[in-house]
Every structure is written in C-alpha cells, then in structure tokens.
Copies of this chain bind each other. A is one copy, B any other.
Amino acid sequence: MTEFYSGVQKAFVSVDIIVFGFEDSKLKLLLGKRRMDPGRGEWSLYGGFVGAEESVDEAAHRVLFELTGLRDLYMKQVHTFGAVDRDPGERVISVAYCALINVKDYDHRLLEEHGVQWVELDKMPQLYSDHSDMVKRAITLLRRRINTEPLSFNLLPDLFTLTQLQHVYEAVLGEEIDKRNFRKRIKSIDFIEKTELIDKLTSKRGAALYRFNKRMYAEDPSFKL
C-alpha cells in the first residue's frame, strides 16, 4: 500500500484568501505587503499553509479567523493554482478562497497587526505570484453568483438600506442599476424584510432599514434578482 504512493513527491498545500469588503459604495479587498521571503515587500493576499490535522476548508477558515477574528463568515472555494514555479522557493499548490465580510465588523487594529489594508478593487496593484489571477477568478465567481445566491448581504451590516444594497450590486457588477426597477425586484423577495427602523445617518429624510431573514430563506432557498 505504501508502495502505491512511492515515487511521487509531496507538495506544500496552502490557502490564499480573497477578502472582499464594501465601503463608500466601493468594493475593496484586504491586501498586505509580504513580510517574508520569497516575495518580500510585494503586494499579496493573506494566506497560510494547510496543517496535517485540518481539512483544506478548515485551514481556510482558520486563516480567515486569524486575519479577521471573525468566525462563520461567508466563504467559498474559488480555484486551485498549481503551476510548478508559482512559488519561487518550494513546490506550493494553493487553493484560493473568496470571503465576504462587513467592513464594519472588522477590527481595525488587526489591520496593522497583520500588515494588511483595505484596497479599492479598482486601484489594486500588481500582486505577488499568481495572486492577481486569484482575484480575477474570485470576481468572476462573485459576478456569476450574486444574482442567483444571497451573497450581497454578507457585505453589509445586518440592517441596511435599499440604496446600500443597490450600491453593492453596482460595485460588484460594475454597472448602474435603475433604482425603481431594483426596488421593485426587492419587494418581490419575501425574505428581505423591511423593519420599522430608520437610518438617519446618510440622509436627512431617513431611509427604511431592511434585513435579510435567514430563516425565511432557509425554508425556500431560491434566489433570483
């Protein structure tokens, strides 16, 4: 049995996480400058190695927790990158994951601690190794799925206004959306609940706050925007 595995080399397996946030009507991601070789000083995603006693998914959640201090965040596997020389040092195969978080939940002290910062997607610098490809894939995934899965709420606080929600869609899809058509569609989705609460921060008149009702969604998990 061991003979069956012989003659094949092992590899390091890592996870790299594309963490998306949303602020000022812009899609942003967490990037840092590498503090270690190889690639010291280059812009890069946050990542880590898969340990011997954890699954790849678990590793991704552990690393995301390290980075954000948050658990149970929305995260999906994006793609696995396995070019021979993608890491200049050793053979490292990396599984990219995409996470969505509400920037407001993020403890800003952690930014410095991990040497990362929020960078607007539109102003993304060139990244280390194949990390730019990882981001590209993650965005493609987001765009494909945002209309068929209730992703968007993960980028917002529990309570949000319809204008905020619309801005999320506009930022992800990169195009403007008609306000009245958007709100019409939202009204037809019954697990997006209007609350009695009103947000007076962003407008003088005040805007109704809405909430994503997970239970109601779980009962009939279909989504079409």
Contact = CB atoms under 8 A, between A and B. Distances in A.
Nearest to A52: B9
Interface string A41-59: 0000000011111111101
Interface residues of A, number: 35
A130 to B, nearest CB: 11
A194 interface: no
A7 to B, nearest CB: 9
Interface in A1-38: 1-2, 4-5, 8-13, 36-38
Q: State the majority secondary structure of interface residues on A.
A: loop
Contacts of A77: 79-80
A90 B5 contact: yes
A91 interface: yes
A101 interface: no
Nearest to A82: B56
A218 to B, nearest CB: 19
A8 B10 CA distance: 12
B82 A37 contact: no
Nearest 4 CB-CB pairings of A with B:
A56-B82, A10-B10, A8-B49, A9-B52
Interface of A: 1-2, 4-5, 8-13, 36-38, 49-57, 59, 77, 79-84, 89-91, 93, 95
25 contacts: A1-B37, A1-B38, A1-B89, A2-B90, A4-B36, A4-B37, A5-B49, A5-B90, A8-B50, A8-B51, A10-B10, A10-B13, A11-B12, A11-B50, A13-B93, A50-B82, A52-B84, A55-B82, A55-B83, A56-B81, A56-B93, A59-B82, A80-B80, A80-B95, A82-B95
Given A1-B38, A50-B82, 5 more contacts: A5-B49, A8-B51, A11-B50, A56-B83, A57-B82
